[in-house]
Amino acid sequence: MDFSEDDNAEALRDLLRRFLDKEVPPQLAARWDQEDRIPRENLIRLAELGVCGLTVPEEYGGMGRDVLGMVTTIRELARRSVALAGLYIMNACYGSLNISESGTEEQKQRLLPGLCAGKILFAYGLSEPDVGADLPSVKTRAERRGDTVIINGYKRWCSGAAIADYIYMLVRSGEPEARYKNLSLVLVPPGTPGVTLQSIGTMGMHGMPTNDVILEDVEVPFANVVGGEASWNRAWSLLAGPTLEAEKLEVPALALGIAEAAVAEAWEYSQQRKQFGGPICGMQSIRHMLADAQTKLAACRLMLVQAAWRVHTGKPSAVETSMAKLFVCDSARDIVLSCQQVLGAYGYAHGFAMERYVRDVLVMPIFGGSSAIQKNNIANLMRLPRE
């Protein structure tokens, strides 16, 4: 296959860059980072371009499932603002991908048009204080009482919960010994009585708040169980379903966008900064760092596009998406730290975007499935024996 960008991808990139240059100048992106907030109306304006419909079927007002377009959008937004990219992920990925794949017909009719218009945000409520990668060990309990579900428990690392309309929450709906067989997914509005949000401060990813969520006798209608009756106690098949491979590409797309922005800043800075009678881009050590960064970027693009293409076309992709998550996120971190060295002290100072890129990129190998988890996935999926 040809891994070069096709005309559709190039047109989408141009559309997004024109939008960002008009609506999100660099100074505004920097202010969102400093204030640790982003107004939601920015997503509605972004939705007018049609990109929030890239994960919504046409019959619900979208453009059909376009994983390549989704990845391109995240990457381009992250080049300018991870906060805006985060809003997009909460909408198009956490929301539309999951409801399109796993929701009941009523849930699709009720939620997808609003998601497509950029008016609805989802947060994830999967992890808990003692539960990270081992999701079948969740302890948050859900009890069904007729047409109502009562939830009690404690969720952690709920990205975007404070600004979301729904928390896409994994709960224990049966006996814990069954693990995989007694899990359900429930949509919990953060404003529901009994829900308490506690902010978790982070060094980067500002504008996309992270929260602990405490649930005390929280009541939601059974209509908010994702997949309805057929999926009660059967959520593991939804979590591990086709949406998983598309979702694994969200974080490497973020990471690649940040790395591309860092390389662009270092590349330009190296031509403007004068030392010892000339621009520092003439110094061999700087030239080598930038050449390495560009080479790693090219490899990251190829790996991400290949994985996205396999998901988009419905080909087996579990190995490729785990490899993309591992390689792109680890490489992006290394690229950004190298670019920071090109800027020297200025790469550590407020007023330059580089210090924000460093703060944002450091979490990429950690969240969305850590690098260690991806290595386990790759070894297991490729059937490497343990004995």
- Residue-wise pLDDT for 55-68, tens only, equals 999 999 999 999 99
Instruction: Identify the band that residue 331 occupies on the pLDDT scale cut at 50, 70 and 90.
Output: very high
Last residue of a domain, one of 65, 86, 120: 120
Could you tell me if 93 and 139 lie in one domain? no
pLDDT exceeds cutoff 90 at 371: yes
- The structure's pTM equals 0.94
Name the residue range of residue 136's domain. 124-234
Instruction: Report the pLDDT averaged over residues 29-35.
Output: 95
Quick one: which of 64, 84, 100, 63 has its CA closest to 20? 84
Could you tell me if 175 and 269 lie in one domain? no
CA dist., res. 97 & res. 89, Å (int): 10
Could you tell me if 189 and 210 lie in one domain? yes
> Cα 264 to chain center, whole Å?
22
Query: What single string gives the DSSP state of each residue in 317-372?
Result: -HHHHHHHHHHHHHHHHHHHHHHHHHHGGGGGSTTSHHHHHHHHHTTTTTSSS-HH
- 26-35 vs 353-361: helix crossing angle, rounded to 10: 50
What are the residues whose beta carbons fall under 8 Å from the beta carbon of 296, sequence distance 6 or more?
A: 259, 331, 334, 335
Could you tell me if 58 and 149 lie in one domain? no
**pLDDT given at position 191:** 95
CATH number at residue 99: 1.10.540.10
Contact assessment for residue 167 and residue 124, using Cβ atoms and an 8 Å cutoff: yes
Could you tell me if 225 and 147 lie in one domain? yes
Instruction: Report the pLDDT averaged over residues 276-285.
Output: 95
**pLDDT given at position 7:** 75
Could you tell me if 364 and 280 lie in one domain? yes
pLDDT exceeds cutoff 60 at 328: yes
CA dist., res. 44 & res. 52, Å (int): 9
Could you tell me if 343 and 312 lie in one domain? yes
**pLDDT given at position 333:** 98
**pLDDT given at position 13:** 94
Instruction: Report the pLDDT averaged over residues 227-250.
Output: 90
Count of the separate structural domains present in the chain: 3
What are the residues whose beta carbons fall under 8 Å from the beta carbon of 297, sequence distance 6 or more?
A: 256, 259, 260, 263, 335
Could you tell me if 377 and 254 lie in one domain? yes
Instruction: Identify the band that residue 5 occupies on the pLDDT scale cut at 50, 70 and 90.
Output: low
pLDDT exceeds cutoff 70 at 178: yes
> Cα 369 to chain center, whole Å?
11
pLDDT exceeds cutoff 70 at 3: no
**pLDDT given at position 4:** 53
Contact assessment for residue 70 and residue 48, using Cβ atoms and an 8 Å cutoff: no
CATH number at residue 320: 1.20.140.10
Could you tell me if 163 and 203 lie in one domain? yes
Last residue of a domain, one of 98, 120, 142: 120
Instruction: Report the pLDDT averaged over residues 343-347.
Output: 96
**What does the CA dihedral 372, 378, 317, 326 come to, rounded to 10 degrees?**
30
CA dist., res. 293 & res. 290, Å (int): 5
In a domain? residue 214: yes
Q: What is the pLDDT of residues 34-59, one digit of tens each?
A: 999 999 999 999 999 999 999 999 99
Which is it for strands 122-125 and 166-172: parallel, antiparallel or unpaired?
parallel
**pLDDT given at position 341:** 97
In a domain? residue 83: yes
Point out the least confidently predicted range of 1-10, 94-103, 315-324, 348-357: 1-10
**Which residue's structure tokens are 């909460």?**
90
Could you tell me if 16 and 88 lie in one domain? yes
In a domain? residue 242: no
| Both tokens assigned to 137 | 């060990």
Instruction: Identify the band that residue 351 occupies on the pLDDT scale cut at 50, 70 and 90.
Output: confident
Instruction: Report the pLDDT averaged over residues 211-237.
Output: 95
**pLDDT given at position 1:** 52
- Give the rounded percent of residues in the chain with a pLDDT score beyond 70: 98
In a domain? residue 265: yes
Could you tell me if 154 and 203 lie in one domain? yes
In a domain? residue 387: no
Last residue of a domain, one of 200, 234, 268: 234
**DSSP label at residue 240:** T
**pLDDT given at position 365:** 96
pLDDT exceeds cutoff 80 at 354: yes
Could you tell me if 296 and 377 lie in one domain? yes
In a domain? residue 57: yes
In a domain? residue 206: yes
- Helix H or strand E segment including 185: strand 183-188
In the chain, the amino acid numbered 272 is Q
In a domain? residue 1: no
Point out the least confidently predicted range of 24-28, 179-183, 248-252: 179-183
